[in-house]
Each structure stands twice: as structure tokens, then as C-alpha cells.
Structure 1
Amino acid sequence: MVCPLANFEEVYKTDHGAVYQCSRQNCYWLEFAGDTTAFKVGDFFGFKKKIDAIDISAMIINPSRTADFTIVMPFRTPRCFVLDINDVLSLRELLDGAKFMIELNSVVHECLKVTPNQASY
């Protein structure tokens, strides 16, 4: 359930989903596969590490039917992700883009804090 007082800003969006930041709740919202999941900041980056750690090559090479999917249960969320190879790749793209934009935003804010009198030439 999304809080009616939440203040969402889009961080990054692809054809497969989006990541939003909520300043009031200090969290990220992941919209993916028709559902929305809230993450605390640390949990969001932990979830990204889990997705990055999935061995796509092993999923492709393994002939068993169970290798076609992977199940990821993010920390402190009620959601369970059942992902096929395409879902993993799409989710990686989304999370990579979101992480890049978050880091870029931090760099921009740091640069804006530097005044001309403080800059070293």
C-alpha cells in the first residue's frame, strides 16, 4: 500500500519498470512485473547485489527445467520475485540505471555545494 502522503520522484524508468524515490519515507519503490515494492535504502542496494549475483550462464547451460527460473526474496519485503532469464536481464538493466542515477545525483549535489571561493585551481 502506498502512503497517500508519499512524495515520489522518478529515479529511472525502462519499458519493463521504474524506480521511484520517496523523500518523506526515505525509501525507494520498485515497479516491476506489474507490482510495486518498497525498499529501505540499504535493502534496495542489497537487492541489487542479489540480482547481480544471479549466474545467467548457469541458467542457460543447465538443461533441467528448474534452472529456467530463479526465486529472489528481498529482505524486509512481502514480495517474492520469480524471474526467468529475460526478467533477470530486464531487472538488472533497471537497477543498474537507477543506481547510476542515484550516484550521479549525489555527485551533482556535492559539486553544487562547492562555492567559487572554496574551489582550488
Structure 2
Amino acid sequence: MICPLANFEEVYKTDHGAVYQCSRQNCYWLEFAGSTTSFRVSDFFGFKKNIDAIDISAMIIDPSRTADFTIVMPFRTPRCFVLGINDVLNLRELLDGAKFMIELNSVVQSCLKATPSRVA
């Protein structure tokens, strides 16, 4: 459940989902596959590592029915992701974009702090 007092800022969005940052709760919200999941900051990056570690090639090559899907259960969340090959690729794209934007924001903030302001 999303807190009504939360202050959300969009981090990154695709046709398949979005990642939002909540300044009040110091967390990220992932909107994907019709539901929303809250992550602590470290758990969000751990979840991204788990998604990046999924072997798409093995899923494609393996002829068994069970290879068509993978199950990912993020740490400290009540959510369970059942992902097909396209879902994994779409989620990777979303998480990669979000991570890039988070890192870019961090670089911009550090540059702004390091640059002395000029007042005329």
C-alpha cells in the first residue's frame, strides 16, 4: 500500500513500467506488470543484480516447459515475480534506465556542490 503522505518523483519510465523515488520514506517504488512494489535503496540495487543475473540464453535454449519462466522473490518484499523472457528483458531495460538516472542525478548533485556559485 502506498502511503498517502509519500512524495514521489519519477526516476525512469518505459512503456512497460516505471520507477519512482520517495523522499519521505527513502525508498524506490517499482511499477511493473500491473502492480507496485516498494524497495529499500540497497534492496532495489540487489533486485537489479538478481534480474541481471538471469541467463536469458539458457531460457531460450532449454526445451523444457519450466525454462520458459523464472521466479524472482525480492528481499524484504511480499511480491513474487514470475517472469517470461520478454518480461525479463523489459524489466532489465526499466531497471537499467532507472539506475542510470539515479547515478546521473548523483553526479549532477556532486558537480553542483563542487562548483562555486558566482554572484555578480
Q: Same fold (TM over 0.5)?
A: yes
Q: Secondary structure at the match of 1:76?
A: coil
Aligned to 2:105: 105
Aligned to 1:43: 43
Q: Secondary structure at the match of 2:96?
A: helix
Per-residue CA distance 1:22-41 (angstroms, 9 max, x = gap): 00000000000000000000
What letter is aligned with 2:66?
T
Report the Cα distance in structure 1 between the residues aligned to 2:116 and 2:86, rounded to whole angstroms.
Answer: 48
Aligned to 1:29: 29
Instruction: Count residues with an aligned counterpart.
Output: 117
1:1-121 to 2 correspondences below 5 Å: 1-116=1-116
Report the Cα distance in structure 2 between the residues aligned to 1:4 and 1:15, rounded to whole angstroms.
Answer: 25
Report the Cα distance in structure 1 between the residues aligned to 2:95 and 2:22, rounded to whole angstroms.
Answer: 16
Report the Cα distance in structure 2 between the residues aligned to 1:27 and 1:102, rounded to whole angstroms.
Answer: 12
Deviation at 1:114, TM superposition (A): 1.2
Identity, % of aligned positions = 89
Per-residue CA distance 1:66-112 (angstroms, 9 max, x = gap): 00000000000000000000000000000000000000000000000
Q: Secondary structure at the match of 2:75?
A: coil
What letter is aligned with 2:26?
N
Unaligned runs of 5+ in 2: none
Deviation at 1:116, TM superposition (A): 3.6
What letter is aligned with 2:8?
F
Unaligned runs of 5+ in 1: none
TM-score (structure 2 length as normaliser): 0.96
What letter is aligned with 2:48?
K
